[in-house]
Chains A and B, each alone.
Chain A
Amino acid sequence: MSSMDVPADATPPGAARSETRTAVDRPGIPTITWVTLALMTTASVASLRAAPTMAVYGLACVFLYLVPAIVFLLPTALVSAELASGWSGGVYRWVSEGLSKPLGFLAVWCQFAMTIFYYPSLLAFVASTIAYVIDPSLASNGVYTAIVIMVLYWTGVWVSSRGTKALAGLSSWGLVIGTLVPGTILVVLGMVFLAQGNPSAAPMNADHLLPQWTGLASLVLIVNNFLSYSGMEMNAVHVSSLKDPAKEYPKSMFLAMGLVLLIFILPALAISWVVPADQLSLTAGVMQAFDAFFAYFDVGWMTPIAAVMLISASLAGMLTWLAGPSKGLLEISRQEGYLPPFLQKLNKYGIQQNILVTQGVVTSVIALMYALIPNVSSVYWIFSTITTQVYLIVYLLMFVAAMRLRKNKPDHPRGYRVPMLGLVCTTGLLASLAALGIGFVPPSQFGGGSVIAYVLFIACGLFVLGLLIPWLFLKFRKPGWRTAAAESTGDPS
């Protein structure tokens, strides 16, 4: 299961490793198995955090996860499986080959930029869960939250800087301990509940298959759920770490897809069997909802254990996100000189340490503001929305690039070919456009504000973060910034 069971390094014992000698330069050196990569992908996308929130919808949560899976997850997984089995390097390489190199940079920039606002909210969740275990009163203490965010984030940077193998092992085990084990416990307890003859708390009949339709609000919920699967393609950047990428990456994606669906749907359903929706609404957070679930079985002592498990899953997810997009950004920057040489430097493990550290400084500043300045935290979610909008640009580019590559390079060897690629890409493209469009609909939190102001804010954010900044990098790059040969990205096939 782990990365431990494969040959890991071709460097002879005792040989000094060159600073520039990395996985990028040594394509095809296997360091992780396809199962490990599937677990990394699953860890970066799925966790149990949303289970109580979605359990409120009862049987309709199946619909809320399955429809996005058909129109967004399936196209993303299939297309990235085909592209990764033909071209190593992740979205930057696919978009570069299919469209153009500047657009390839745009794709990987958007993937990278999106994560900046993700870490503070994720780690604030971890901080509040740790507080739940140790002392709940800490949860509303900004200084405590800031300290936890900083310590965990920089520990994550340190682990990531030790190489893909270290984070592959931790993220895989984090998924198993933090998601698969507690998820299985929830489902087993839920089935025991039903087997004891108790009626399901949520109606499980055909009338409740579809969610309540309230027009725009329902549309916002359904379409925004497409984003539940964002990140399925992110770990393709590690494809050159597989033994046989062309065959193994598609297998890895299919396994990840199955796991993600099971993790999202079954635990949410199990909670809805046991705890009525109205009672879930009485709880103040994710952990209280788990507490309510365990209370039914008189195993309240399991709540703090579940909390620690959730913490490990969240940290596993963070590790994969730290390593993936920044690696993609590094690879295209080295080949094309899109970033200053300082940001292209590697440590002795061949990891983009300076990008991670720079990203860490920016994230730390945002995290400190988030935790310590009240007015910032109240508008934080607007920036979260902007970054998910920016991420959708990656998918638009990826689907268009896939169609172009099939048309322009039909004979390029691929380990896997998507049947009816045009239809699959069009579906994914339309789903991404729908998610992009629905991002302009104000959510609950903006109920009292001007719709025009909200739309302008999101549009400006999308323009600045998703287009202006990468354009400035392209505009001001210098020829001397190009530090690696283009041939460093060998095709896996």
Chain B
Amino acid sequence: MSRTRFASEHRWVYIGAIVILLAMVVIGLIQFRSVKQNNDTYAKAQELSKELVAAGYPAPDIDVVEQLLGTDGGAVCEDPGSTLKRALWNVQQLSNGATGPGQRPVIGDTRAVELERIVLQVYCPDKVDEFDEDIDDLDTRETVKR
């Protein structure tokens, strides 16, 4: 088959895929709002930094924390107890390094879970109980060398 005939046979599949992906990029760029840093985001980031240092962790980069968590904790505080998200988190965050069907849960790092809890305490304390309930029976160990 010539290149032309092949291309014409599957032209709409390719054009469709390109159009959908480009549309998503455009929507993403319009919708994506990087957090505007202000006094409130700075105060929250400082508070988080203080809590982390008090818990024995190194101080994070304030600028990045501001951009990531804003004043409301961003994605970390968005329904941390929801079942679907929990299921995704369980398999995707505490898993091995596979990205195909070999993805499998492992015994996760204790401090990763602790850190998320500290973020919740600072940014959305009302979600902490729900989170604690979810992670109550998680078996974690210190698997990351720091």
- Chain A residues with CB under 8 Å of chain B are 3-5, 7-9, 44-50, 53-54, 56-58, 60-61, 64-65, 114-115, 118, 121, 124-125, 128, 130, 132-137, 139-140, 142, 145, 159, 162, 165-166, 169-170, 177, 208, 210-212, 214, 216-218, 220-221, 224-231, 264, 268, 275-279, 281-288, 291-292, 295-296, 300-301, 303-305, 307-308, 311-312, 317, 321, 370-371, 374-375, 377-378, 380-381, 384-385, 387-388, 391, 439, 441-449
Contact = CB atoms under 8 A, between A and B. Distances in A.
Nearest to A130: B24
A139 B78 contact: yes
A170 B13 contact: yes
Given A3-B6, A277-B144, A8 B1 contact: yes
B31 A224 contact: no
Contacts of A381: 87, 90-91, 105
Contacts of A226: 102
Contacts of A142: 84
B145 A9 contact: no
B1 A278 contact: no
B96 A444 contact: no
Interface of B: 1, 3, 5-7, 9-10, 13-14, 17, 21, 24-25, 27-29, 31-32, 34, 52, 57-58, 60-61, 63-65, 67-69, 74-76, 78-80, 82-109, 111-112, 115-116, 119, 136-146
B9 to A, nearest CB: 8
B60 A276 contact: yes
Contacts of B68: 282-283, 288, 291-292, 295
Contacts of A380: 87, 91
B111 A227 contact: no
Contacts of A278: 52, 57-58, 60, 111, 115, 146
Contacts, number: 305
B97 A384 contact: no
Contacts of A214: 141-143
B78 A443 contact: no
Nearest to B28: A304
B53 to A, nearest CB: 11
Contacts of A308: 21, 24-25, 28
Contacts of A295: 34, 63-64, 67-68
Interface centre among B78, B90, B94 (most CB of A within 10 A): B90
Contacts of A162: 10, 13
21 contacts: A4-B6, A7-B1, A53-B95, A56-B112, A58-B144, A118-B101, A121-B88, A140-B79, A159-B13, A162-B13, A208-B145, A217-B143, A218-B143, A229-B98, A268-B97, A276-B60, A284-B80, A291-B68, A380-B87, A445-B94, A448-B137
Contact of B76 (A210, A283, A317): A283
A279 B98 contact: no
Nearest to A215: B141
A9 B138 CA distance: 55
Nearest to A446: B139
B94 A118 contact: no
B103 to A, nearest CB: 7
B97 A228 contact: yes
Contacts of A286: 92
Contact of A56 (B21, B60, B67, B109): B109
Contacts of B25: 304-305, 308
Nearest to B34: A300
Given A217-B141, A442-B139, A228 B115 contact: no
Contact of A133 (B32, B76, B139, B143): B32
A381 B57 CA distance: 31
B20 to A, nearest CB: 9
Given A8-B1, A296-B64, A447 B99 contact: no
Per CB-CB distance, the 10 closest pairs between chain A and chain B, nearest first, are A448-B137, A447-B139, A304-B28, A227-B102, A8-B1, A230-B102, A443-B105, A374-B83, A133-B28, A217-B141
Contacts of A169: 10, 14
Contacts of A292: 64, 68
Contacts of A374: 83-84
A377 B105 contact: no
Nearest to B25: A308
A385 B104 contact: yes
Contacts of B91: 121, 380-381, 384
A370 B88 CA distance: 10
A489 B5 CA distance: 28
A305 B144 contact: no
A151 B74 CA distance: 28
Contacts of B99: 45-50, 228, 317
B138 A50 contact: no
Nearest to B91: A381
Contacts of A8: 1, 5-6
Contacts of B5: 8
A278 B115 CA distance: 7
Nearest to A47: B99
A184 B73 CA distance: 30
A281 B112 contact: yes
Nearest to B107: A217
Contacts of B111: 278, 281
